[in-house]
């Protein structure tokens, strides 16, 4: 069976940590910030850890197991 190609869009948006956790930025933090509360905007900072089936699917797109 041939090797799978890495999904180019995913590799720019998702990072896998040394322990194998899938890390990505949260959505909705780039525009229309005027009406969002400061608490909500702070929650967009940093990375979000994904778990479960979505993390497994993203790892497959990146070519790691």
pLDDT tens string 12-63:
999 999 999 999 999 888 999 999 999 999 999 999 999 999 999 999 998 8
Q: Is the pTM of this model over 0.75?
A: no
pLDDT at 1: 75
Specify whether the CB–CB gap between 33 and 65 falls below 8 A: no
Q: Give CA–CA dist 61/49, Å, rounded.
A: 17
Say if residue 64's pLDDT is above 80.
Answer: no
pLDDT at 65: 66
pLDDT at 3: 81
Q: Which of 43, 49, 39 is nearest to 29 (CA)?
A: 43
Q: Give CA–CA dist 43/27, Å, rounded.
A: 10
């Amino acid at each position: 069976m041939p090797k799978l190609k890495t999904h180019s869009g995913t590799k720019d948006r998702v990072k896998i940590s040394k322990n194998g956790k899938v890390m990505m930025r949260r959505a909705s933090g780039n525009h229309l910030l005027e009406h969002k509360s400061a608490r909500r905007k702070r929650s967009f900072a940093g990375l979000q850890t994904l778990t479960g089936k979505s993390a497994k699917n993203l790892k497959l797109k990146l070519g790691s197991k």
